Amino acid sequence: MLKSASLKEVRMKVKGLEKKSHFQKFIFEVIQDLFFILDQKGGILEANPRAMEVLGYSWEDLQKMVFLDQVAPEGQGTVSKGFEEMGGGKEIRLRTHIVSQDGERIPVEVIGVPKEELFFMTLRDLRESSKNEEEWERTKKELIEKVRERDQYARELQAMKDAYKEKLKEIERMREDALILSYMDDLTEIYNHRFFIQQLTTEVNRQKRYPTQLSLLMIDIDYFKDYNDTNGHLAGDQILKAISLIIQHGVRQSDFVARYGGEEFCAILVNAGKEEALAIAERIREHVAQTRFPNENAQPNADLTVSIGVASYSPTTSTVTDLIREADNALYRAKRAGRNRVEG
């Protein structure tokens, strides 16, 4: 019985070992990573089917090689150092490239475990992860480029907006300048006839809503044609400029002085009744008469002077036409009375 039991026991052990060996072989074959068993010199003792499939070598070929033969030249130093560490009993983990039989460089993560004077090497194929990393890097670069392009576009758009706003301001300034120029007399650089009519209309309309006082001066240079004929038009232009300045200094800051046409000027006196308007007109007349002009001795009255007509807003003089007509009539009365005088 004892002999029979021992034989049965041996047979069971043998059967168990066969099953264990078969199981280990099964695991060895189904491992999806590349797997090698090496001696301490790097000689290949075992390689799983996956390793032979990826590298493209047969088992017969691999038996003639050492592990370093599979490693790309630039990684051999690192792997050799890893072997030294495993020889000292340490596990290693590193990244390198192996080269297949057809020359493909394959990125791998190497995990080395020393055991019983053998090195168990697992190589994890990183091609897919590298591809994903490369794809991510490419996507990241594309995103960065798109963000850069977007930011650049935003900067360019803002620059265009700023330039557009600046151009609008410039256009507005030009429009304002053009409007001012359209209201200015080119020669004397005071307001022109167009502005005079517009401003007088504004002041008359204001009188209807907020009655105060409003007066108008019509000023004419005496014997100006004689001065022009004697001294020439250029000299006459200088006289027009000089007298326009005298008139501007003779009125108040709130008043409006304009060239009505030819040698005739006008002044809109805001908040000024007839008495104050006559005083302002007289001051202007005196300033002109006291000013010494070139060659004025040749004038018919041996002096360069002005005549001024004054009109004030009233119930019977309540329109632009009324005011201009009344001031004109007063001016001609001054002319007929001998010139160099004020009439109102």
pLDDT digits over 261-285, tens only?
999 999 999 999 999 999 999 999 9
Name 110's Cβ contacts closer than 8 Å, sequence gap at least 6.
79, 82, 92, 93, 94, 95, 96, 121, 122, 123
> Is the whole-model pTM more than 0.95?
no
> Residue 100's CB: how many other CB atoms inside 10 A?
14
In 10 A of CB 251, how many CB atoms?
Answer: 21
Alpha helices in 76-221 (DSSP H): 76-87, 127-182, 193-209
Domain with CATH 3.30.70.270 in the chain: 193-343
Q: Is the pLDDT of residue 25 over 70?
A: no
**Cα dihedral sign, 222-225-227-228:** positive
21-24's contacts with Cβ under 8 Å and 24+ in sequence apart are none
Dihedral sign for Cα 208, 258, 216, 197, please. negative
Tokens found for residue 301: 């009255």
Q: What is the DSSP letter of 302?
A: S
Question: Which residue ranges does the chain devote to CATH 3.30.450.20?
Answer: 17-129
Of the candidates 203, 263, 326, 343, the residue annotated as catalytic is 263
Topology (CATH level 3) of domain 193-343:
Alpha-Beta Plaits (3.30.70)
Residue range 133-175, pLDDT digits in tens? 667 778 788 888 888 888 888 888 888 888 888 878 887 887 7
Q: Per-residue pLDDT averaged across 183-194, rounded?
A: 92
Among 253, 250, 225, residue whose Cα is nearest residue 240: 225
Topology of the domain comprising 17-129: Beta-Lactamase (3.30.450)
Please write the tens of the pLDDT for every residue from 54-108. 999 999 999 899 999 999 999 999 999 999 999 999 999 999 999 999 999 999 9
Would residue 263 show up in a list of annotated catalytic residues for this protein? yes
Is 206 in contact with 320 (CB distance < 8 Å)? no
Q: Can you read off the two tokens belonging to residue 28?
A: 């060895």
Interatomic CA distance for residues 253 and 251, integer angstroms = 7
Residue 61 — left, alpha, or beta (φ > 0 → left; ψ -120 to 50 → alpha)?
alpha
pLDDT(320) > 80: yes
